[in-house]
Structure 1
Amino acid sequence: MSTLIGVDWGTSSLRAARLDAAGEVLEERSLPRGILTVPAGGFPAVFDEACGDWMREPGALALLCGMAGSRQGWVEAPYAGCPAGFADVAAQLTWIEPGRIALVPGLTCHEHGVPDVMRGEETQVFGALELLGLQSALLVLPGTHSKWVRVIDGGIDRFATFMTGECYGLLRQHSILARMMPAGDGELDAAAFVQGVHHARRSGTLLHAAFSARTLALFERLAPAAVPSYLSGLVIGEELRVQDLRGTLSVAVIGAQALTCRYELALATLGVTVTRVGSQATWRGLRAIASTLQGTS
């Protein structure tokens, strides 16, 4: 199989890896060259800076996922529709250089007539399925815009986006609640976090529940240092409140430990266990897409 170069090109950074036939990383690089730092017409030069020496290997193939395929990226890669599996995504790659450099399409689905989209997360989901040996699963990818993804028979059937991280940042920095909290978040206060999760589920709406971060501190029932953890519990609890988790025993959570451990705590309050998958999901997903493209499983 040809040398595979995987690139996860986001808004603020670029990660690249040279992968073996099993999707394991042989070499990895990271550059602070997210798409917003690249001037018009500058994508080929940044790509060459990151991966040029790897691309000179015979038969090298580069697959790029993430925001490189967005309207602000190298070339806009049209979204593939759900449901979508490995083969569907591989069939809709956008080729920058035929046979050498391609963009993985993002996915779109519709609920109540409104479109939802993802770019990059689909690759992580496919990688997680490979790593966990699953064909059907419920997965969550925490972050600024969290994604809940339902996979059926190896394909992404549907997903939904929640602006959880962004709402936390806005409330944490730009609302009256900021005056009740220290400058930094500090270590996670697990008890305060779980308290926030429970209150979010009881209150029925974050618009009401969020004010409790102020009043609990005002009446000295919550220490100022614990308020960021409590607020984090509130916004993640709101995210969980609207999920249909009936009959769900386990959820796969993809991402960095700092966030995935919070979802593990929150889901435990519902009796749901968590399987955590880290950054290797991206590389395994790109290898899986490449294998489908090349006619191997």
Structure 2
Amino acid sequence: MAAPHFIAVDWGTSGFRLWVMGKDGNVLASTSAPLGMSRLKRNDFDRVLEESLDTLGIAKDVPAIICGMAGAAQGWCEAPYLCAPTRLDALGEGAVSVRGATRQVHILPGVKQMAPANVMRGEETQIAGLLHADPAFAGTVCLPGTHTKWVQVTDGAIQHFETCMTGEQFAFFSQDSVLSHSMMLDGWSDCAFRAAVHLATQDPVAVPRRLFAIRADMLVGDQDSATARATLSGLLIGQELMSVPLYWCDQSVTLIGAPSLCEIYLKALDVLGVGGRSLNVETTTLAGLTAAFYLQKGPAHA
């Protein structure tokens, strides 16, 4: 292995992903574990990081930069939010050094919005990665996930954003609600998904009553699990789209997230005649962490 230059970490609620970076920007090694903020106490973070790096044979003098929930109040070390509108090149300047860590560790801040109240941690770093590759970018970025973010970016800055809990809603309805009995098998139907998006975007108030019909259609009709799952997704995403028209109407949307989820959102946007593209989430995250690493101000502690 070439000499490691720094460690990049995306530390989320449920897990973390770590990359060992060379001075030329190449990834020398990587690892991940289901050890996110929700499973760790404050004193666990340093141990988990060092055990992961010991396994990779990384010396203690290699610094680390981290984005995500490790910087939350309940995480390793709180990195105070920057307030939108905020330039993305301010992330490195706002990095907080973790006092007492085994190695030099900086955690990037998230971004908050005062009115309407909103917060993000991790997504801002992915957007910074987009801007690192395309400094002139201006437009909407959608980051689909458990809590999907819709972000307006201009002049190298996050101007304003919205959060939709569509992913969490889908997980509840498909796994814990009465609808879960209709989705015990995997599968997908593009036709059912597009029909559900169309219904939800044409008549959003119909969504609450149409949700139970997913179960009824299986009990009294011949609906299968693939149709049920796609219908639920289409109804929820369609309803989401109608709540944030400012972010997609008459414009193209750039998506950053899991490829399969980005593909679903692109299909939903296509129903509305809206174009878009998806970017590799690992690439944008690494670009954002790398840019922030080189923009750090210095050893401000918290």
Please give the range of the TM-score, normalised by the shorter of the 2 chains: 0.7 to 0.9
Pair 1:273 & 2:275 matched: yes
CA deviation after TM superposition for structure 1 residue 129, in Å: 2.6
Pair 1:247 & 2:247 matched: no
- Name the counterpart of 2:143: 141
- Name the counterpart of 1:227: 228
Instruction: Give me the TM-score of the superposition, normalised by structure 1.
Output: 0.88
CA distance in 1, matches of 2:136, 2:271: 24
- Name the counterpart of 1:109: 113
Instruction: Give me the TM-score of the superposition, normalised by structure 2.
Output: 0.86
SS at match of 1:210: helix
Q: Would the alpha carbon gap of residues 156 and 20 (structure 1) be closer, same or farther in structure 2, given more than 3 Å must change? A: farther
CA deviation after TM superposition for structure 1 residue 74, in Å: 0.7
CA distance in 1, matches of 2:157, 2:63: 24
Which one of the candidate residues 85, 88, 108 is aligned to 1:86?
88
- Name the counterpart of 2:188: 188
CA distance in 1, matches of 2:260, 2:146: 13
CA distance in 2, matches of 1:127, 1:47: 23
Give 1:169-188 correspondences, 5 Å limit.
169-179=171-181, 181-184=182-185, 186-188=186-188
Q: How many residues align?
A: 288
SS at match of 2:168: helix
Q: Would the alpha carbon gap of residues 224 and 6 (structure 1) be closer, same or farther in structure 2, given more than 3 Å must change? A: closer
Q: Would the alpha carbon gap of residues 55 and 239 (structure 1) be closer, same or farther in structure 2, given more than 3 Å must change? A: farther
CA deviation after TM superposition for structure 1 residue 216, in Å: 4.1
CA distance in 2, matches of 1:102, 1:145: 25
Q: Structure 1, residues 239-273: CA drift from partner, whole Å, max 9, x if none? A: 1112222320x211111112111011111112222
Kindly indicate whether the alpha-carbon contact (under 8 Å) linking 1:139 and 1:150 is maintained by their aligned counterparts in 2.
yes
Pair 1:286 & 2:289 matched: yes
CA deviation after TM superposition for structure 1 residue 32, in Å: 2.5
Q: Structure 1, residues 173-203: CA drift from partner, whole Å, max 9, x if none? A: 3333233x1313x232111111111111122
Q: Structure 1, residues 9-47: CA drift from partner, whole Å, max 9, x if none? A: 112212110124564422111122222332442221111
SS at match of 2:85: coil
CA deviation after TM superposition for structure 1 residue 220, in Å: 2.7
CA distance in 1, matches of 2:130, 2:193: 27
Consecutive unaligned residues in structure 2, runs of 5 or more: none
SS at match of 1:19: strand
CA distance in 2, matches of 1:8, 1:55: 20
One-letter amino acid matched to 1:211: F
Give 1:200-215 correspondences, 5 Å limit.
200-205=200-205, 206-215=207-216
One-letter amino acid matched to 1:282: T
CA distance in 2, matches of 1:86, 1:21: 22
Which one of the candidate residues 12, 15, 18 is aligned to 1:16?
18
CA distance in 2, matches of 1:217, 1:125: 41
Kindly indicate whether the alpha-carbon contact (under 8 Å) linking 1:147 and 1:160 is maintained by their aligned counterparts in 2.
yes
Give 1:33-72 correspondences, 5 Å limit.
33-52=35-54, 53-57=57-61, 60-72=62-74
CA distance in 1, matches of 2:58, 2:118: 35
Kindly indicate whether the alpha-carbon contact (under 8 Å) linking 1:6 and 1:17 is maintained by their aligned counterparts in 2.
yes
Q: Would the alpha carbon gap of residues 274 and 55 (structure 1) be closer, same or farther in structure 2, given more than 3 Å must change? A: farther
Kindly indicate whether the alpha-carbon contact (under 8 Å) linking 2:42 and 2:74 is maintained by their aligned counterparts in 1.
no
Q: Give the superposed CA RMSD.
A: 2.5
Pair 1:6 & 2:33 matched: no
Consecutive unaligned residues in structure 1, runs of 5 or more: none
CA distance in 1, matches of 2:58, 2:176: 44
CA deviation after TM superposition for structure 1 residue 63, in Å: 0.8
CA distance in 2, matches of 1:56, 1:106: 26
Identity of aligned residues (%): 34
CA distance in 1, matches of 2:121, 2:283: 17
SS at match of 1:276: strand
CA distance in 2, matches of 1:16, 1:207: 41
One-letter amino acid matched to 1:25: V
